[in-house]
Amino acid sequence: MEPAVTTADLTCRYGRTEAVRGLTLTVEPGSIFALLGPNGAGKTSTVRMLMNILRPSGGRATVLGVDSRRLGVHELATIGYVSENQKLPLWMTVDELLAFCRPLYPSWDESLCRKLLADFDLQANAKIASLSRGMRVKAALVSSLAYRPRLLVLDEPFSGLDPVVRDDLVHGVLELAGQEQWTVFISSHDLDEVERLVDTVAFIDAGRLVLTEPFPDLHARFRRVEVTTGSTEVRLKPDPTNAEWISETWIGLEHAGRVVRFIETRYVEGETERHAAERFAGTRVDVHPMTLREIFVAIARERREGQR
């Protein structure tokens, strides 16, 4: 089965500014794929190129097997797209919006549409202009989900929403996508909203891909380590006469008093603890799992330190 989305050396320039720099990704069908990074990292530019809203400056992308530059009415009828700044016709009611969308999509499922309205507690006769931002996002989602898209593209759709509304929407949308075996491509700077649900994550920073990896693998290999030593005299910099003094898989080393802290990027149970205890004459080694946010912050901080 061909990938749902591919990019090969995808590049986007605005004048002399390179917003996306040689991005290469593969999104497997039926997966929930998150493109993550800080604001200004190039996420929205990437999504806009995938949706043929923006022409790539270089490289190429395919979406459902079609060159993104050739996406037309037929292909877009199988792709759901909701973005942070999506404009809706404020003069319409929710029902009028859905009636407008219905004939555009041959696969429109009216029973699913009504179920989504009920699940999202969205009144069909409500004027869009009178809706809160969260309710407008719900209306946009209903109009993009009711035709059962093969691919759902979400560009920061939940940014700035009330946490309760955001959690309800994230769980509702991604749970439905999982049941229907849709492919979901979501871009976000809010890592908490996607951590529990994604299959694969890609980190992008300053337009460059930092890593892409199945989330369970990423989560398994990163650990926050605290070593309690027998002395406050702790040497953190590598010993030039001993290349193995500090493991190459440790980042963000710091110490306060008798405690050394670092991030292990290739955790092996038992081996990491033994190695840390040996290196720092540790009397105690504590290892803690990390959230997706903590992992991203550690990677981003290490990159910035390396660029100084």
Rounded to whole angstroms, the Cα distance separating 100 from 142 reads 13
Strand partners for 223: 264, 289
**How many percent of the chain have pLDDT more than 70?**
93
* 3-state SS, residue 129: helix
The C-alpha angle with vertex 43 and arms to 40 and 46, in degrees rounded to 5, equals 125
- DSSP assignment of 9-29 equals EEEEEETTEEEEEEEEEEE-T
Torsion of CA 47, 151, 290, 21, to 10 degrees: -30
Rounded to whole angstroms, the Cα distance separating 272 from 285 reads 9
Question: For the segment 272-302, what is each residue's pLDDT rounded down to a tens digit?
Answer: 999 888 888 878 999 999 999 899 889 888 8
For residue 217, the model assigns a pLDDT of 95
Which residues, including other chains, have CB under 8 Å from residue 214's CB and lie 6 or more apart?
A: 199, 200
End-to-end CA distance of the chain, in Å? Answer: 44
pTM of this structure = 0.87
Give residue 107's pLDDT band: very low, low, confident or very high (50, 70, 90): very high
Domain boundaries, the chain: 5-218, 223-289
256 membership: H or E segment, kind and range: strand 250-256
Find, among 63, 41, 43, the residue nearest to 52 by Cα.
63
- DSSP assignment of 126-179 equals SBGGGS-HHHHHHHHHHHHHTT--SEEEEESTTTT--HHHHHHHHHHHHHHHHH
Strand partners for 204: 209
Q: Residue with structure tokens 């041959």?
A: 106
Give residue 22's pLDDT band: very low, low, confident or very high (50, 70, 90): very high
Rounded to whole angstroms, the Cα distance separating 209 from 205 reads 7
More confidently predicted of 160 and 277: 277
- DSSP assignment of 268-291 equals -TTHHHHHHHHHHTEEEEEEEE--
Question: For the segment 36-80, what is each residue's pLDDT rounded down to a tens digit?
Answer: 988 888 999 999 999 999 999 999 999 999 999 999 999 999 999
Find, among 150, 146, 141, 78, the residue nearest to 110 by Cα.
146
- pLDDT (average), residues 160-175: 76
For residue 240, the model assigns a pLDDT of 39
- pLDDT (average), residues 176-191: 84
Rounded to whole angstroms, the Cα distance separating 55 from 142 reads 28
CB burial of residue 291 (10 Å; 0-12, 13-18, 19+) = middle
Asked whether the predicted pLDDT for residue 261 surpasses 60, the reply is: yes
Judge contact between 94 and 126, C-beta under 8 A: yes
Assigned CATH topology for domain 5-218: Rossmann fold (3.40.50)
Judge contact between 109 and 144, C-beta under 8 A: no
- The mean pLDDT value of the chain amounts to 88
156 membership: H or E segment, kind and range: none
More confidently predicted of 261 and 190: 261
For residue 242, the model assigns a pLDDT of 46
128 membership: H or E segment, kind and range: none
Give residue 241's pLDDT band: very low, low, confident or very high (50, 70, 90): very low
- pLDDT (average), residues 149-153: 94
More confidently predicted of 140 and 160: 140
